[in-house]
Amino acid sequence: MQDDLLKLFYEVTRVTEDKVGRIDGVMRQAGVLALNARLEAARAGSAGTAFSVVAQEMSAIAQEIRGIGSELREAIAGNVALLETAGAEMVADFRGARYADLARSAVEIIDRNLYERSCDVRWWATDSAVVDAAEATTPETQRRARERLATILRSYTVYLDLWVADRDGRVIATGRPERYRHALGLDVSHAEWFRRAMMVESGDEFHVCDIGTEPALDGAAVATYSTAVRRGGDVRGERIGALGIFFDWAPQARAVLAGIGLSREEREDARLMILDRSLKVIAASDDRGLLTETYPLDAIDRKRGHYHAGNRIVAFAETPGYETYKGLGWIGCIESRGSSGTAARPEGMAKAA
């Protein structure tokens, strides 16, 4: 609608300039006729005296109307420039506000998805096969845990793997041992997800790490959720190990960004991103800079907003969290790279001076 408004404004300006130009043309013709009339009156001598006076008045009127036309053109040009600037700013601000809404939508969808992951890890840590393997690591308990984890993975395709580690940080069971051969037996005692899991106070709590790569999962980018495995599966039971679940981040984030409601033209002009709290790019519609680029977001308050940087619009919104999942301070961000959001000027129409 805003683009249509600017197009209408440009059309009114074009029509006005056309009509003023036609008035100038008519007045020039009137001036030429008045000059010719005065010449003929002079040739007629005393008989053309009265006609000469009329011709002179016609010339004066034509000149006056041309002056009015010139003043009108200058007035229109000045107001056109102001209206064009105001209209362009209105469109850009509307687009910036809309982009901020879409940025919030992107990060909200991701948080709703990740909230479910926080539920998964707390639930599966109480599974009898997982608890038994952590309580007494034997070939039989390992087999049962492996089979149980594999069953879960067949239903929950958003995960790359699930690991059970004993209290010393040694991985004793995984869901995909054939695919990720280096995971079983891995020492994860210094990994953040394991250390934090062994510190949670109860089975109602969990830990989530920012997006990072896991070498034992072929270097894939993952969101890792973990919690303690407790004796007997009791919510307050002794911590006897840890469960780590590895969310397959890249395809899920890509799908969320692809579903954001931008038009084809807007999507060609924009870069959609998810930033972590340190402004590192953890997802991007162009797949550039993942986990390596720090985006220069110029915002003191990161909650929500937009700003203009040259001919770019940058819109952003911080995660509000979802249910009991507070989020990690991630930010949805949309950068419109190619234009400020103004409507295209009709072909052949010059910019007002």
- Assign residue 168 the CATH number of its domain: 3.30.450.20
**Position 344 in a domain:** no
CB 349 within 8 A of CB 298: no
User: Which runs of E-coded beta strand occur in the chain?
Assistant: 159-166, 171-174, 207-208, 212-214, 220-230, 239-248, 270-275, 281-284, 304-309, 312-318, 331-336
**Position 211 in a domain:** yes
Count of alpha carbons within 13 angstroms of residue 344, beta-carbon side: 5
176 DSSP 8-state letter: -
**Position 178 in a domain:** yes
**Position 131 in a domain:** yes
Domain extent, residue 207, equals 116-252
**Position 346 in a domain:** no
In degrees and rounded to multiples of 5, residue 300 shows phi and psi of -70, -50
Q: How far apart are CA 52 and CA 60, in angstroms?
A: 12
Per-residue pLDDT of the chain (353 residues; tens, 9 = 90+): 555 655 666 666 776 777 777 777 766 776 666 667 667 667 766 665 666 666 677 667 767 777 776 777 777 666 666 666 666 677 778 888 999 999 999 999 999 999 999 999 999 999 999 999 999 989 999 999 999 999 999 999 999 999 999 999 999 999 999 999 999 999 999 999 999 999 999 999 999 999 999 999 999 999 999 999 999 999 999 999 999 999 999 999 999 999 999 989 899 999 999 999 999 999 999 999 999 999 999 988 878 999 988 888 999 999 888 877 888 899 999 999 765 444 444 333 344 33
Q: How far apart are CA 46 and CA 253, in angstroms?
A: 95
**Position 295 in a domain:** no
**Position 169 in a domain:** yes
CB 239 within 8 A of CB 167: yes
Sort 208 into a burial class: Cβ within 10 Å, 0-12 / 13-18 / 19+.
buried
**Position 244 in a domain:** yes
Smallest CA-to-CA distance from 85 within 348, 340, 350 is with 340
pLDDT at position 46 is 66
Domain count of the chain? 1
